[in-house]
Chains A and B, each alone.
Chain A
Amino acid sequence: MIDYMEKVLRSFELRTGWNRDNSYENIMATSENLLNFDIPTGLKCQVSNRSTGNTYSTFELSNNKVINGSLAYIYTNCEGLDKYLSSSRETLLQDASESYRQITPPHQYRYSRKGFESTSLWHGRMYYPSSTLEAMVVKRLNPETQLVAKCLSSLAHTSVLTLYLQKDSGRNCQEWIASSNEGLLGYRILHNFTGSQSKLNTSLYNNSSLSLGAEMWFGVLNTSPACSTTLRYCTHSANTGRPLTLTLSWNPLFGHVSSTYSVKTSSGATISSKYDFNLYSIESNLSFGCDVWRSGVQDIKLKKEDSAKPASPPSIERKAGYPDDKLMFYHLMAGSSNSQKLLDDLNVTFAPSLHKIHQERSNIENYESSLREANFTSVWRLSTSLRDRNLKVLWEGKYKEFLISAGTELTNTPLDVPTNSIQESKTSNGFLRPAKFGVQLQYSM
């Protein structure tokens, strides 16, 4: 379940045209969401509100052995976040819950650079009784860059400041990171290969994207390096229009190779699998995760509004070559003269393939729209890992005006056993015991 504050941040990014998925940090977001989803601990209640036009506040109370809580505020000078934010009553579950990340190819993802304003977002969160203060500033410097400063001040830890400088040009996204914790320095880069339609692609409608990213880290204080590189390929199945994502990442330093395959098999189900392998120690791990969405009674009114607004386009018109479709048929239009005749000829020649394109495209778009419009009421998530021998279960849903997420992690490794205990192997007796359990209630106005 995405917190309200996180949602405000994402709305801010959406509004300012920052593509969250075009960052190396989120290159494996889909499999992370499906395999390593967070499970709340204890009982947690969140009440959020948009207090004024520019400020948002959240009050959180959690009971994990002791009662503690936090107060969070966000101020942003960015206007027009309303249409991305909605109260917990009106919000759609698929917007409130993290699941399959639909990667939009950068050539389709366009943000308006004309009306760019240098906006910023200030976030502060005070935890009590531990008196830990979290602060974050997100500042859009120019259409391609963003500066994020995160700071943590607490009694237990020394204060930590982490700076991110992110530059996203669409094709490349680079990030420079410096953290005072361990003196960590990092550089991340993500490169998108398919900036435009690939001419090699037999399918004329190209909705796939291929990205390659890498990161390098170095802890100055502990002189420990880290690096990794990842390849991501996202596409849609040609027949059904179902999206799928493949990633392959490699850590050359420790010889770690992991591959993931995630597919949205239907509008209400996603499956993800991950295979880890270490070249040096020949250790391996296989993880599975899935989520199943359950839709309740269709809210017809809502559906109508939604369908009226965005996609589900009359595709024949577009085929004729509307300006906003020029990308799609770029290679067809490029070499052609304006003569109608030639165009007609071409139409005749390419009619079957154009039909095919239309079909594919409509397939995909219908699918996406159906996904958008679906009125899901709850989602079950399951994930398991062979090496860790655990089973994570999470239920998220809407009840009345609350967004509820409840989950547990079952494991058969002993709880609270320090890692350096010798009885570790003995105690795994095949019984799963809950290691974690929690319920989170979220209400926002």
Chain B
Amino acid sequence: MSFRFNKATFEDNSFNEQIREKLTHALNADSGSGSQSKSANASNSAVTDEVKQETKGPKKLDILKSGITVSKVNFPSIPQLEILDLDLSAQSKSLLKGICKISCKDAMLEINTEIEANLLLLYTNNGPAFTTPRLISNDSFTVPITMTFDQIELEAITNIFVKNTSVGISFNDVNLDFNFDCSIKLLQSSIEKRLKGSMETVFKDVLPSVIFSMSQRWFTHGETTGGYPEEKLQQHVESQSHLPRVILEDSDLEDLSPATMLRLSTLVSSRQSLSLNPTAMNTLSAIPGCLERQNLHRFNSRVPALSNFYPDFHAAEAPDLKLLGRSVSSNTIVGGGYNQQLNTLPQRVLDERSYNLNTIASVQSRIYERSNGDNTNLRRRKIKMGGRNKSKIQVSKKLERKASVPDVEGIAEAGPPTSLSNNAERSEANVRNTPDFVHSPRPVSVAQSPELLGENSAFFNIPHLQLSAKAGANQTYPVVSPPTPKLNLLEEAQSLNRRRDLQKLRSSLYSPMRNSKFYVTREMERPILEHKGLSFVGLAQGLKWGSEDLPPPYGC
């Protein structure tokens, strides 16, 4: 969960004007009970309400003769918001719990309006004409009234809960102080008394309920949630006539785009269920384009790399990999060491020779495509191992299959380290040292980082890996597979890579929660993602999302 406090709004004094406009607008809403209560405040008539209730007349008395104008608003200093405590997911239901201190000082507010002083006129106008005696010279007499609130000081400690689809705020410790000045001195004390009395309800009832209902609208994004259709809410509000109108509007939230709010709510809802048992095991993220931290290991496991194959071997070697997964603990912060995954084949694989050339070839080509943003076709060198080398079974002969590369020694040198240590640094050094070996059979290329591969676009050596590996492992080991099928394998790998389609990528990324259980082995057994686009998700620059533009990833 992230939020932004736009401090710039308060830096210049333009927000004073904004407040003035919004207040004026809210106070002048027709039939708004906000203005009604204001009028009741301004009227010095506790009797007014009683009489209103007694007569139960269909019309309401309105002693305001004109609109309420908020003439001056002055907040000289920036309202301060101090976060005292922030607790994430304190309970299972509440996502965020925080304690804030809000304070604002020396603010000033001035309100102008006109009231009808001739109350009897109002009553006679509202009464039934038949029984109301006619009064002579009973015209209206309007009195302008100005109310000034000086030196408003507010200090409040608030508890904020961000729950499933709403924000709840409760004001615990409110210190509000202001100087009140009314142009009609006769009414000043009574208005002040009523105002201070009503302040408690404002902070206890009104503000929390207003914010709550407004936040519900954010999260549901205008949709009617099951329990609270808009009309029902409306009726609810209307039935409680003392509740003021919601004075916050959608226009206040224009900084938050609906799409963002939608995504945030999806994020919130997805997070909810991730407490212990992740629901969508086979997807990387519930939200397209967004990778969550706890899913990083899974993401890494799908990055085309040799180490991601043969999970069994890896599991045997490094069981802590799984420990780092989300399945262990959702609260654990995954360490950075997790990134040190090497693009190498596990030692055991090499030892037991259980690798498959076809897979390795496809991994390679995928690495190539990942690093190569553009659509340059993967070209592999095809070597026919028919005629002259066919009869030769010796290692040296196999090395000679790279006919274009004369330097056999370099290959021989490069081979052993790869097979033994699979050290990427070493292989890089090799590349740097021997730039001529671009076309040479180099097993190190498998261990190379994608950048290096990207530099040497024509660098392909699947068969040689096998050869060199064999050479490293056992120099005299004969070639197991016949040469002709190998050629087919190469082509097959290539075509396999071309088969990828964005639709699949989408479905895997978009796919909502599935009810599959979490099995690490199954996850590992899943075929490696065959989409080059995936690797770019949220990590790399120069994203390519295919024909349909997905929204850019936002951090989580």
Contacts and interface: CB of A to CB of B under 8 A. Distances in A.
- Report if A and B associate in a common complex: yes
Interface of A: 24-25, 27-28, 134, 136, 150-152, 154, 156-158, 160-162, 164, 177, 179, 181-182, 184, 186, 213, 215, 217, 219, 221-226, 228, 230, 249-251, 254-256, 258, 276, 278, 280-281, 283, 417-424
Given A230-B136, A256-B139, A224 B28 contact: no
A420 B132 contact: no
Interface in B105-140: 113, 117-121, 123, 127-128, 130-139
A411 B113 CA distance: 24
24 contacts: A134-B130, A136-B130, A179-B133, A182-B51, A182-B55, A182-B123, A184-B133, A217-B120, A219-B120, A221-B51, A222-B123, A228-B136, A251-B138, A254-B139, A256-B139, A258-B139, A418-B30, A419-B62, A419-B65, A419-B66, A420-B39, A421-B28, A422-B67, A422-B68
A284 to B, nearest CB: 11
A152 B24 contact: no
A178 to B, nearest CB: 10
Contact of A162 (B54, B113, B132, B136): B132
A27 B136 CA distance: 8
B339 interface: no
Nearest to A28: B136
Task: Give the top 5 A-B pairs by smallest Cβ distance, nearest first.
Answer: A422-B67, A228-B137, A224-B119, A254-B141, A420-B64
Nearest to B36: A420
Nearest to B50: A221
A249 B137 contact: yes
A221 B54 contact: yes
B24 A157 contact: no
Contact of B47 (A221, A228, A258, A280): A221
Chain B: interface secondary structure? loop
Contacts of B57: 156-157
Contacts, number: 142
Nearest to B62: A419
A251 B136 CA distance: 9
Given A160-B127, A217-B120, A222-B47, A186 B66 contact: no
B430 interface: no
Contacts of B133: 25, 162, 164, 177, 179, 184, 186
B319 to A, nearest CB: 72
A422 B24 contact: yes
B388 interface: no
Contacts of A213: 136
A158 B56 contact: yes
B131 A254 contact: no
Interface string B23-57: 01000101100010001000001011011001111
Given A160-B131, A177-B133, 17 more contacts: A28-B136, A152-B128, A156-B56, A161-B131, A162-B132, A219-B120, A219-B123, A222-B51, A226-B120, A226-B121, A228-B136, A249-B136, A250-B137, A256-B141, A419-B65, A421-B67, A424-B66
Given A160-B131, A420-B68, A256 B56 contact: no
Contacts of B130: 134, 136, 150, 152
Contacts of A27: 136
Contact of B128 (A136, A160, A278): A160
Interface in B65-79: 65-69
Given A181-B131, A221-B47, A421-B30, A24 B136 contact: yes
A439 to B, nearest CB: 21
**Interface range on chain B (Cβ under 8 Å from partner):** 35 or more
Interface of B: 24, 28, 30-31, 35, 39, 45, 47-48, 50-51, 54-58, 62, 64-69, 113, 117-121, 123, 127-128, 130-139, 141-143
A276 B141 CA distance: 12
A162 B28 contact: no
Contacts of A157: 55-57, 128
Contacts of A28: 136
B136 to A, nearest CB: 5
A31 B305 CA distance: 101
Nearest to A125: B130
Contact of A222 (B45, B113, B132, B135): B45
A228 B55 contact: no
Q: Which of B45, B117, B123 has the most CB of A within 10 A?
A: B123
Given A151-B131, A152-B130, A160-B128, A181 B141 contact: no
Contacts of B55: 157-158, 181-182
A158 B54 CA distance: 8
B136 A222 contact: no
Given A162-B133, A181-B127, A221-B54, A281 B119 contact: no
Nearest to B138: A226
Given A182-B51, A224-B123, A256-B141, A217 B135 contact: yes
A151 B132 CA distance: 10
A134 B58 CA distance: 18
A143 B260 CA distance: 85
A225 B138 CA distance: 11
A217 to B, nearest CB: 6
Given A182-B123, A228-B136, A152 B131 contact: yes
Contacts of A184: 120, 123, 133
A157 B127 CA distance: 9
A150 B119 contact: no
A283 B24 CA distance: 26
Contacts of B28: 420-422
Contacts of B30: 417-418, 420-421
Nearest to B113: A420
A25 B113 CA distance: 34
B29 to A, nearest CB: 9
B135 A420 contact: no
A164 B50 CA distance: 26
A228 B39 CA distance: 28
Nearest to A255: B141
A55 B131 CA distance: 23
A182 B127 contact: yes
A122 to B, nearest CB: 15
Contact of A258 (B68, B69, B137): B137
A418 B132 contact: no
A25 B66 CA distance: 31
A255 B138 CA distance: 11
B57 to A, nearest CB: 6
Contacts of A225: 120
A420 B136 contact: no
A79 to B, nearest CB: 27
B308 to A, nearest CB: 68
Nearest to A418: B30
A41 to B, nearest CB: 13
A164 B133 CA distance: 9
B142 A281 contact: yes
B51 A230 contact: no
Nearest to B55: A158
Contacts of A221: 47, 50-51, 54
Contact of B67 (A161, A181, A249, A424): A424
A161 B131 CA distance: 7
Contacts of B121: 226
Contact of B139 (A154, A177, A276): A276
A223 B123 CA distance: 12
Nearest to A182: B123
Nearest to A214: B136
Contacts of A421: 28, 30, 67
A417 B132 CA distance: 25
A136 B129 CA distance: 13
Contacts of B47: 221-223
A33 to B, nearest CB: 13
A48 B28 CA distance: 47
Nearest to A213: B136
Nearest to B57: A157
Contacts of A276: 139
A160 B131 CA distance: 7
